[in-house]
Structure 1
Amino acid sequence: MPLASSHLLRRGRCSEPGRLYVLTTVTHRRTPLFRDWRNARLVVHQMRRSDQENACVSLAWVVMPDHLHWLIELRSVTLGTLMRRFKSRSSLALHKAGVELEPVWQAGYQDRALRREEDVRKVARYIVANPLRAGLASSVRQYPHWDAVWL
């Protein structure tokens, strides 16, 4: 088995409060936990909790069957702290709800800082259109697990 190299993703990573980031994280072994509506909503609740705690401002997100994409403005914590708290809390909530997958999430996450000149709404549209590209819905209105602040 090859050695994990998720630590390489952290090389050069910086957390800048006020900066916009697209975050992506994947379930362990790409298990489609979020086909179950209740599981997906538990994860959504934990993303909203991050907003309530002023760790970030969620601008757009989509929870896919085995991963999520989250467009945020970082606030009072580092990216690492935000994701560590989110993954820990969502794992705990899922386990309390009966999910037996251990661990729930793959190690690490991907982040991309948006450039100042990027069209944030275009990035948000791309994120919420993921279910269309994956063939999960023919309209974003048919897919229940997404949101964007511009609606």
Structure 2
Amino acid sequence: MSRKHRIWYPGAMYHITSRGNRRSALFYDEMDRKAYLELLEEVRFYHPFHLHAYCLMTNHIHLQLETTTHHIKHIMKMLNSRYALHFNKRHHLVGHVFQGRYGAELIETKDYQLEVSRYIHLNPVEAEMVSLPEDYRWSSYRAYVIGEGNPHVRTKKILAYFSAPERENYQMFVEEGMAISKISMIYE
């Protein structure tokens, strides 16, 4: 049985997820995370795209990625295969690094763009790795709220949905997600 073809068109935006094989770690240390981001830039050179948000967790990744002229399958094939080669070579391993096919949810509305951005930035908080999203070094959140230089991500599109002061209003939007999450835990 063949796989369902992914919907693609120039300018399509996706919430991309990839998980380590058998839920194992994709990143053992800081060097692995830096290598992933370097490879992301290499891939962007060959297959241009816009990255609006990202988070590199221990055993999975989240990317909010907008295509330009290349199909998402070409971008992700190159990124995941190059990272798998790096990871296996560096750690003297063989076999699959990623668990199955990457996930790619098409984002077609402004509200979904915002929700995906918030979800990605809150991932380390939800996983109880940090108390505040700005404390997690391996996401794009600090570029959004404090304007920290980050060559990998474009904040302009998402921040444009917020009135001035955009960064502060985006931070409030994300923190509302933390409050909603805490309330829902109380009622579970």
Same topology, TM > 0.5: yes
Give the unaligned 5+ runs of structure 2.
Answer: 141-152, 156-166, 168-188
Find the counterpart in structure 2 of residue 149 from structure 1.
Answer: 154
Q: For residues 54-103 of structure 1, what are the alpha-carbon distances to aligned partners after superposition, in whole Å with 9 as ceiling and x for unaligned?
A: 43111111011111010011122212111111111111222332252521
Find 1:95's aligned residue among 88, 92, 101.
88
CA distance in 2 between counterparts of 1:58 and 1:120 reads 12
CA drift at 1:116: 3.0
| Equivalence for 1:14 | 7
Cα separation, 2, equivalents of 1:117 and 1:137: 28
Deviation at 1:107, TM superposition (A): 1.9
**Does the CA contact (< 8 Å) of 2:125 and 2:131 recur in 1?**
yes
Residues 129 and 142 of structure 1, relative CA distance in 2, 3 Å threshold: same
- The count of aligned residue pairs is 144
Distance in 2 separating the partners of 1:41 and 1:101: 21
Q: Which residue of 1 aligns with 2:149?
A: none
Mapping 1:71-150, distance limit 5 Å: 71-100=64-93, 102-118=95-111, 120-147=113-140, 148-150=153-155
- Flag the 1:96–1:70 CA change in 2: closer, same or farther, 3 A: same
Give 1:68's aligned residue.
61
Residue 52 (structure 1) shift: 3.0
- Could you tell me which runs of 5 or more consecutive residues in structure 1 were left unpaired when the two chains were aligned: none
- What is the CA deviation profile of residues 99-145 of structure 1, one whole-angstrom value per residue up to 9, with x for unaligned ones? 52521111201111112343534421221110000101111222111
Counterpart residue type for residue 139 of structure 1:
L
Which structure has the highest strand share of the two? Answer: 1
The runs of 4+ residues in structure 1 deviating greater than 4 Å are none
The answer to which of 11-20 and 46-55 deviates more is 46-55
**Could you tell me the TM-score, scaled by structure 1's length?**
0.83
CA RMSD of aligned residues (A): 2.1
Match of residue 43 from structure 1: 36
The change in CA–CA distance for 1:140 and 1:117 in structure 2 (over 3 A counts) is: closer
AA at the equivalent of 2:16: L
Between structure 1 and structure 2, the one with the greater Rg is 2
Q: Cα gap change, 1:38/1:101 in structure 2, threshold over 3 Å: closer, same or farther? A: farther
C-alpha distance in structure 1 between counterparts of 2:50 and 2:56, whole Å: 17
Q: TM-score, normalised by structure 2?
A: 0.68
